[in-house]
Copies of this chain bind each other. A is one copy, B any other.
Amino acid sequence: MASGKPITNQETRCTVAQPLSPDLLDKMHRYWQATNYLSVGQIYLLNNPLLKEPLKREHIKPRLLGHWGTTPGLNFIYVHANRLINDRDINAIYITGPGHGGPGFVANTWVEGSYEEFFPNIDRTEAGMQRLFKQFSFPRGIPSHVAPETPGSMHEGGELGYSVSHAYGAALDNPDQVVFAVVGDGEAETGPLAASWHSTKYIHPINDGFVLPILHLNGYKIANPTLMARMNKDELTALFVGYGYEPIFVELKQETFNDKVETFNDIHQDMAAAMDLCMDKFAAIREAAKAELAAGKMITRPKWPMIIMRTPKGWTGPKEIKGKKVEDYWRSHQVPFSDIDGENVQNLENWLKSYQIETLFNADGTVKEELVAIAPKGQKRIGSNPVVHGQVSKDLKMPDFRNYEVKFDKPGTVNAEMTRVMGNFLADVMRENEAEKNFRIFGPDETASNRWNATIEYSGKNWLANHFEVDGINNNDNLKQDGRVMEILSEHTCQGWLEAYNLTGRHGFFSCYEAFIHVIDSMFNQHAKWLKTTRHINWRKPIPSLNYLLTSHVWRQDHNGFSHQDPGFIDHVVNKKAEVIRVYLPADANTLLSVTDHVLRSRHYVNVVVAGKQPALQYLTMDQAIKHATKGLGIWDWASNDQGGEPDVVMACAGEIPTMEALAATDILRQHFPDLKIRFVNVCDLMTLQPKEEHPHGLSDREFDAIFTADKPVMFAFHGYPWLIHRLTYRRNGHSNIHARGYIEEGSTSTPFDMVVVNQLDRFNLVIDVIDRVPQLQKTGAYVRQKMVDKLVEHAEYIAEVGDDMPEVKNWKWPY
């Protein structure tokens, strides 16, 4: 069909046979009504679940919580998804964008029998139904969202915007998976969601699964109409055609909206026909792609089908309460009425009875057999899909990271690009796992900039948008229709894809400019919360860790300037539960390799790895690096001269640039004060600094004191904001002696060394700091101190004149 022209339900009903037999239609409708009844019950009822006695105030919950508005629509889609699962024998995931529709998802998994398998106490009996109702939004019961506690869920939707990127992430490399992605028209206004529709240019018709987005226009948010429900239909159609879809409308129009059986029958038939049409289109798309490949051609990017479903908010709920419009209006968004006086007790009873309870459940609370019969069975049930419970997940086959060692004769004398070395390793991780297809990398147009070139050369960048001849002429663009490197200039979309790839058991790495990872701060929050909660749910298995490489970091954003300088993601991350958070700042390539190996083998963490991409000095042999990374921090004997005894000062550091500056400062101090005993400490695993009561990686106080001393001055050169060091160590014995330097929001377009100077993290300032803090130097150090001040002036003059850093700084190497 011509692009730009919508398929309406009228058309589908003309051109496609009505797919539901009268019998099936009746059962599906009752199944839907059963889940609607159970949803209302969860929101309102404490007792009397089958209304065997007349409803009274004491049967109703004292605090009424939950979201009714979106729920009946979600239930409607669920029952139609079930029909499709049965008819076509598909495996389906159901992503609930409007996460507030929790009671509906729970109700569906209860009816189909998934729920009682995970929660035997909530069985399909009258007593189980009562407990099902009571627990919902009850203190310490179950959440109101499609939460981790909900069988079949992999997307909470509490924070809106990620349903579509999650759906596509789940479908990648899962060719036999169908993903129903219900998008609320509220969520559709968010930025992350608006960008993620372009996932159409990244999904492979053969290698990946089928994503069926269902945009649910129910018209209202909390208190406002939604934009998409108030656009003209031709605009709405154009928008999704523009995104790469062929939208198919299923609409219960305002003017025809009523409670007649025929109306319900029509919309059921329309929905079934639309879903069939989508599945047929999917199948045709895959066949066409196979034919193109067989003919040696590239795959033509298809127009992907999607459904735009327009049904009333709070559908099947009360039309009006006390003269105020409720159904098809924003008043049904949450609990449609909360003032439980006599009139509203009656309103609630009428509403519940309108579902004709006796046609849905038996007297003992069990679901009518003929309704249970139309639910999918076993793992075909959406609530029992093992993929979303982390139950289908293989560990990565790992090449030996020791093979990528950077070799050198003396520490601090050879340069390497840390992340390029890491990229070589990651490319071989891809290679080793080629057959399993369970490893991808993600990034916003920065994979090459971040030096993971080897992964691109090995696998290519995923690109199903148009290819031009020039891509081939240059022959080094590596745009491939089946590339495993996912690049879109949307950190949100990268993050959403990767989260879902993890949540469905697969592995990945996200590389990002350090400053701009804040774009996904809130997404990280939600994922960390999901990990924290699921850690304590035994039928969910640990999923692969969410791994970040933060590079192009603050200290080498001298060229891009102030807007590109922000090391604060670590601060954000460490607010989340210690049991799921890990932060690494490897100082060289070999340590980074060891850390990379570790995080790729780990499960159920968020691992944040900060490392530079520019040539930087290398310090540890592979053996040393493994020991260092394993311990998390340590004294570097080769840089210390305290000979295992008591030092006069501890020079500590974390991050490759602070490490270099701390070493250079140590060099200056040793030249000028040969008797000064310096202990050099490097921290790779930042969480070792916290008390062990606070974080599983934290050192005991005894261990901490053995490294940092309890009473000597500690200069701490830190990659990030310096106060983070204090926040992590404030309970340590020697805390009042720790003096931290780091990024203090200074710097613009400048040179690399000037960046550390203006933030007072440079070698000269560090020497001054030591002189000012070590008692024995306060008298004897005045001459050297002045010399450092002179050096800072010399530096400022040099860069102003030449435009580059002084050779003695640029070319400095560890001399001992």
Q: Is A365 an interface residue (CB 8 A)?
A: no
Copies of this chain in the oligomer: 2
Q: Is A319 an interface residue (CB 8 A)?
A: no
Q: Is A201 an interface residue (CB 8 A)?
A: yes
Q: Which residues of B contact A533 (CB under 8 A)?
A: 562, 748
A4 CA to B234 CA in the complex, in Å? Answer: 9
Contact yes or no, A159 B201, CB < 8 A: no
Q: Which residues of B contact A730 (CB under 8 A)?
A: 723, 726-727, 730, 735
Contact yes or no, B137 A749, CB < 8 A: yes
Report the nearest B residue to A446, measured CB to CB.
B222
A807 → chain B, closest Cβ, in Å? 12
Q: Is A265 an interface residue (CB 8 A)?
A: no
Q: Which residues of B contact A232 (CB under 8 A)?
A: 466
Q: Is A151 an interface residue (CB 8 A)?
A: no
Known: A189-B198, A238-B241, A242-B240. A561 touches B158 (CB 8 A): yes
1/0 per residue, CB under 8 A from B, across A365-391: the answer is 000000000000000000000000000
1/0 per residue, CB under 8 A from B, across A714-741: the answer is 0000000101001100100001000000
Interface size on A, as a range, is: 35 or more
Contact yes or no, B234 A191, CB < 8 A: no
Q: Which residues of B contact A529 (CB under 8 A)?
A: 562-563, 745
Report the nearest B residue to A563, measured CB to CB.
B158
Of B196, B235, B242, which is within 8 A of A236 by CB?
A: B242
Report the nearest B residue to A158, measured CB to CB.
B563
Q: Which of A777-816 contact B (CB under 8 A)?
A: 796, 799-800, 802-804
Report the nearest B residue to A465, measured CB to CB.
B230
Q: Is A61 an interface residue (CB 8 A)?
A: yes
Known: A198-B227, A329-B470, A466-B230. A145 touches B189 (CB 8 A): no
Q: Is A433 an interface residue (CB 8 A)?
A: no
Report the nearest B residue to A231, measured CB to CB.
B465
Q: Is A142 an interface residue (CB 8 A)?
A: yes
A471 → chain B, closest Cβ, in Å? 7
Known: A201-B227, A235-B241. A750 touches B519 (CB 8 A): no
Contact yes or no, A187 B489, CB < 8 A: yes
Contact yes or no, A3 B238, CB < 8 A: yes
A566 CA to B575 CA in the complex, in Å? Answer: 9
Q: Which residues of B contact A556 (CB under 8 A)?
A: none
Q: Is A192 an interface residue (CB 8 A)?
A: yes
A572 CA to B573 CA in the complex, in Å? Answer: 10
A residues with CB within 8 A of B: 3-4, 46, 61-63, 65, 99, 134, 137-145, 147, 156, 158-161, 186-187, 189-196, 198, 201, 221-227, 230-232, 234-244, 254, 324-325, 328-329, 445-449, 461, 463, 465-468, 470-471, 473-474, 477, 479, 487-493, 515-516, 518-519, 521-522, 525-526, 529, 532-533, 559-564, 566, 568, 571-572, 575-577, 721, 723, 726-727, 730, 735, 745, 748-751, 754, 796, 799-800, 802-804
Extra contacts, 20 of them, besides A62-B802, A144-B560 (Cβ < 8 A), are A3-B234, A4-B4, A63-B803, A145-B560, A145-B563, A147-B563, A161-B519, A187-B489, A190-B195, A191-B192, A221-B489, A222-B445, A223-B448, A224-B445, A225-B471, A231-B465, A239-B242, A254-B468, A516-B522, A533-B562
Query: 29 A-B pairs, CB-CB below 8 angstroms?
Result: A4-B4, A139-B800, A140-B754, A144-B561, A161-B191, A189-B489, A190-B191, A194-B195, A194-B198, A201-B230, A223-B445, A223-B449, A224-B461, A227-B465, A231-B242, A231-B244, A231-B466, A232-B466, A234-B241, A238-B239, A239-B239, A325-B470, A328-B470, A518-B525, A526-B563, A532-B745, A533-B748, A577-B745, A730-B735
